[in-house]
């Protein structure tokens, strides 16, 4: 090189760095400052993250391999020079890419960022270690791995905080307006869909919580608050001990999922008290409980984290809400059909009989008018409710009708007091919970 080795090396380094940076641009990666990234809206930043992921994988697996071969060909007489130039080129390009990831980790945290953070985290975890196979000088390889590890740790800590902020959003949802018709609450839908999507990254989030969660965080599934909540739901010590035993076996991420579920349960119980009608409160809890259970069953990842004991407890809760609804609504209606006061000295007291039919008709009309606009969107739950109502009401009404209808004078008197035949009752029960009636009781076309 005629004594111009240093100049040749510098020219080569600058030329190749320029070409490599141009290749980054072709792959879609743009060089932004930390301030630029902090000011960007999330939607365009998402696209930049997608480009970053693609670029890192392409650069490490393709471009650097070719760059190493080129350096060896140009400086074939001096392996040390090859190592130095290739190492410095690799460091220059990788630091640009790592600086982008670092800047992303520093952006303001919000729930929707979790999944893109996971993408970056997985790339740093899976791609960067393979750089040791590129024959980088050990010092530079270790430096880049160390920088990648620091960035990964910051992303991990940020993701733990983002996920834990889901707790805060649940606690902050204190709306005082009940959902019309006792339908599934938007908070329930959002939380379960978020958890379902998050659990598609279950293995990575297990690692994130295991490696980056603060040790001093309190576990909400143990201690006084949890015990009081369990007791309020009718739990017993045996079940509580079983739950605590399962909790002890849970991973940090599984405990976090359990904590979110507990907070959602508490929030929904509070919201159920916004309904003045106890029956509608039970419908609300059934709707939301069934939604949670179905979403959990539909996600093998969530189901494996929560466990069978939790699922059985959810099913038991649903049965209890069903019983409460049945008792509060149809138990009161069936009281109209009891025989109390109907027989005096072996004879039917007709005024009492008339009053019982009138009370039944009035109460059934009110129930039908009101509960036709209530909503049960889960078809299986809707069917279960209708079947259970029919199985209780229709036989009781048919028996009462068969025994006492003969005491009315045929004609106008019968029509006045016997408003419904059993078939009519069944038809009206099949109209409940589909929301297809107006508040006045007329069904929508």
Which is more confidently placed, 87 or 136?
87
- Same topology, domains 5-166 and 336-429? Answer is yes
Residue 223's SS3 state is: coil
At residue 445 the predicted structure's pLDDT band, cuts being 50, 70 and 90, is very low
pLDDT at 62: 84
Proportion of the chain in helix, strand, coil states, percent, rounded to 5: 75, 0, 20
Does 413 have pLDDT greater than 80? Answer: no
Structure tokens at 89: 């080129």
DSSP state of 373: S
Which is more confidently placed, 220 or 82?
82
Residue length of the chain: 445
- Cα of 123 vs its chain's centroid, Å: 25
At residue 6 the predicted structure's pLDDT band, cuts being 50, 70 and 90, is confident
* CATH domain 5-166 topology: Monooxygenase (1.20.1280)
d(C-alpha 414, C-alpha 394), whole Å: 19
Predicted structure pTM score: 0.82
Cross-strand partners of 347? 344
Strand runs (DSSP E) across 362-402, as ranges?
none
Does 158 have pLDDT greater than 60? Answer: yes
Please give the class, per CATH, of domain 336-429.
mainly alpha
pLDDT at 3: 61
- Cα of 204 vs its chain's centroid, Å: 17
| Whether the Cβ atoms of residue 20 and residue 63 lie closer than 8 Å to each other | yes
Helix extents (H) in 59-113: 64-74, 79-105
Degrees to nearest 5, angle at CA 422 with 416 and 428: 90
Give residue-wise pLDDT tens across range 203-235.
Answer: 999 999 999 986 444 444 333 343 333 433 444
Does 343 have pLDDT greater than 90? Answer: no
| In the chain, domain spans | 5-166, 194-324, 336-429
């Amino acid at each position: 090189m005629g004594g111009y080795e240093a100049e040749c090396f510098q020219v080569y380094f600058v030329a190749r760095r320029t070409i490599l940076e141009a290749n980054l641009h072709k792959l879609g990666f743009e060089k932004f400052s930390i301030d630029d990234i902090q000011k960007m809206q999330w939607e365009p930043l998402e696209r930049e993250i997608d480009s970053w992921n693609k670029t890192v994988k392409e650069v490490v697996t393709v471009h650097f391999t070719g760059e190493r071969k080129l350096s060896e060909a140009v400086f074939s007489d001096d392996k040390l020079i090859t190592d130095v130039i290739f190492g410095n080129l690799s460091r220059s390009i990788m630091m640009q890419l790592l600086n982008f990831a670092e800047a992303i980790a520093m952006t303001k945290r919000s729930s929707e960022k979790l999944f893109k953070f996971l993408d970056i985290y997985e790339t740093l975890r899976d791609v960067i270690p393979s750089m040791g196979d590129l024959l980088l000088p050990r010092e530079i390889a270790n430096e880049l791995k160390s920088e990648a590890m620091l960035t990964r740790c910051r992303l991990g800590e940020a993701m733990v905080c983002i996920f834990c902020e889901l707790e805060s959003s649940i606690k902050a949802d204190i709306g005082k307006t009940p959902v019309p018709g006792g339908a599934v609450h938007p908070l329930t839908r959002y939380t379960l869909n978020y958890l379902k999507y998050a659990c598609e990254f279950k293995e990575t989030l297990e690692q994130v919580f295991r490696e980056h969660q603060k040790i001093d965080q309190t576990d909400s599934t143990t201690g006084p608050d949890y015990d009081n909540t369990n007791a309020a739901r009718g739990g017993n010590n045996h079940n509580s001990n079983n739950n605590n035993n399962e909790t002890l076996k849970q991973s940090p991420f599984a405990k976090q999922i359990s904590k979110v579920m507990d907070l959602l349960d508490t929030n929904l119980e509070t919201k159920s008290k916004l309904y003045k009608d106890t029956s509608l409160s039970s419908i609300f809890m059934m709707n939301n409980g069934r939604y949670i259970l179905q979403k959990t069953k539909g996600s093998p990842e969530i189901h494996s984290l929560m466990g069978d004991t939790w699922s059985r407890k959810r099913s038991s809760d649903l049965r209890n809400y069903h019983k409460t609804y049945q008792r509060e609504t149809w138990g009161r209606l069936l009281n109209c059909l009891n025989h109390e006061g109907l027989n005096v000295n072996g004879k039917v007291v007709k005024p009492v009989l008339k009053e019982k039919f009138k009370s039944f008709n009035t109460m059934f009309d009110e129930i039908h008018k009101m509960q036709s606009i209530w909503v049960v969107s889960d078809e299986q739950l809707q069917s279960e409710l209708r079947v259970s109502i029919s199985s209780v009401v229709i036989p009781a009404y048919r028996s009462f009708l068969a025994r006492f209808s003969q005491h009315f004078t045929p004609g106008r008197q019968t029509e006045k007091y016997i408003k419904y035949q059993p078939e009519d009752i069944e038809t009206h029960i099949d109209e409940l919970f589909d929301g297809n009636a107006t508040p006045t009781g007329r069904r929508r076309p």
